[in-house]
Amino acid sequence: MNDKLRNLLIRTASGAVLLAVVLAASLCGYVTYVAMLVVIMCVGLREFYLLAKAKGLRPQQFMGLVATTLMLVAGVAQYVGESSDYCCAHIGSILVVAFLLMVVWIPLIFVVEIFRKSDSPLLNIATTLMGVLYLGIPMFALALLPMLLTSEGSWNGLVFLMFLFLVWGNDVFAYLVGVTCGKHKMCERLSPKKSWEGFFGGVLGSVAMGALAAAVLDGDYLKWMLLALVVSLASVLGDLVESMFKRDAGVKDSGNIMPGHGGMLDRFDALLVAAPFAFVFALIYMVITN
């Protein structure tokens, strides 16, 4: 067996396992869905800070992890409070406490740096906060996004899966079109294999997935197809952003947790940037149509 075939088999097997985990976590309920977000957040944040360390920086990993977790907790508390069939006073308290802790905790990052005696405190603080924003905002958005994309009162894992397939659909169609007829380079400095033909192929593929999602969920075709357009554009940016980080750090992959796919950021880079844009779109669409 040659190396290319072996790598293809490893990549396929790893991808199948990842898909099975995502399907199980999404369809089993909101608790398992949040557990999946926690894993993506923790591993992804660690990989991001390792990229920073490869540049000789010293981000505050623990402080960043706590701040990012608080953002996820705030999103989960908001979701539970909005979707519960009964009044739970503690949910509102958890949301308030999470936001208050963020207000206090993030300034503490500056204070902690005073006692670390580092040669580059400004860059360390900036990198720590960048990790919080890069992982924390998407986690907050993903905790609430399934609720914004459906009118159902109970958890429906298919809503998140359809959203995820918009992201992955863009990736797959961009790759297929780019490989077959890609001639004009899109951003050769960061991602030499990306082409404008692949970009437009990815957009069309994602919009087609949006129509499929609306059919499966018996949802609003206009909303899902517009969402797909937003997601496809943001997904490309997400991929380029992570490529920029890796190129700056001088590494091929952000990690090796998934054989054949690299790290957590390599697999979910597009999702991390697409989620906040999708969140804002869903809010705006809800306000306009209600």
Write the DSSP assignment of 173-214 as a string of letters.
HHHHHHHHH--SEEETTTEEEEEHHHHHHHHHHHHHHHHHHH
Mean pLDDT of the chain: 86
- Contact between 224 and 159 (Cβ < 8 Å): no
The letter for the amino acid at 164 is L
Q: Report how far residue 200's alpha carbon sits from residue 208's, in angstroms, rounded to the nearest whole number.
A: 12
Instruction: Locate the DSSP E strands across the chain.
Output: 185-187, 191-195
pLDDT, tens only, 85-117: 544 555 555 667 677 777 888 889 999 999 998
pLDDT, tens only, 252-261: 888 788 776 6
pLDDT, tens only, 50-65: 999 999 999 999 999 9
Residues 6+ apart with CB under 8 A from 199: 174, 186, 236
Task: Give the per-residue pLDDT at 5.
Answer: 62
Residues 6+ apart with CB under 8 A from 36: 21, 22, 25, 26
Task: Give the per-residue pLDDT at 86.
Answer: 46
Q: Report how far residue 95's alpha carbon sits from residue 136's, in angstroms, rounded to the nearest whole number.
A: 15
State CA 281 to chain mean position distance. 16
| Cα atoms found within 13 Å of the Cα of residue 248, Cβ hemisphere only | 14
Task: Give the per-residue pLDDT at 285.
Answer: 92
Using a cut of 0.75, tell me whether the model's pTM lies above it: yes
The letter for the amino acid at 197 is E
Angle at 102 between CA 271 and CA 130, to 5 degrees: 45
- Contact between 128 and 186 (Cβ < 8 Å): no
The letter for the amino acid at 6 is R
Q: At what angle do helices 121-131 and 61-83 cross, to 10 degrees?
A: 30
**Interval 125-142 mean pLDDT:** 95
Banded model confidence at residue 31, pLDDT cuts 50, 70, 90: very high
- Contact between 72 and 136 (Cβ < 8 Å): yes
Task: With a cut of 80, say whether residue 3 has pLDDT above it.
Answer: no
Greatest mean pLDDT range, 38-42, 81-85, 265-269: 38-42
Task: Give the per-residue pLDDT at 248.
Answer: 87
Task: With a cut of 70, say whether residue 7 has pLDDT above it.
Answer: no
Task: Give the per-residue pLDDT at 102.
Answer: 76
**Which tops the pLDDT comparison, 278 or 219?**
278
Residue 218 is given by DSSP the state: T
pLDDT, tens only, 150-182: 877 678 889 999 999 999 888 888 777 777 776
Residue with tokens 């040659």: 2
- Contact between 232 and 207 (Cβ < 8 Å): yes
Burial class (CB in 10 A: 0-12, 13-18, 19+), 132: buried
Q: Report how far residue 182's alpha carbon sits from residue 192's, in angstroms, rounded to the nearest whole number.
A: 11
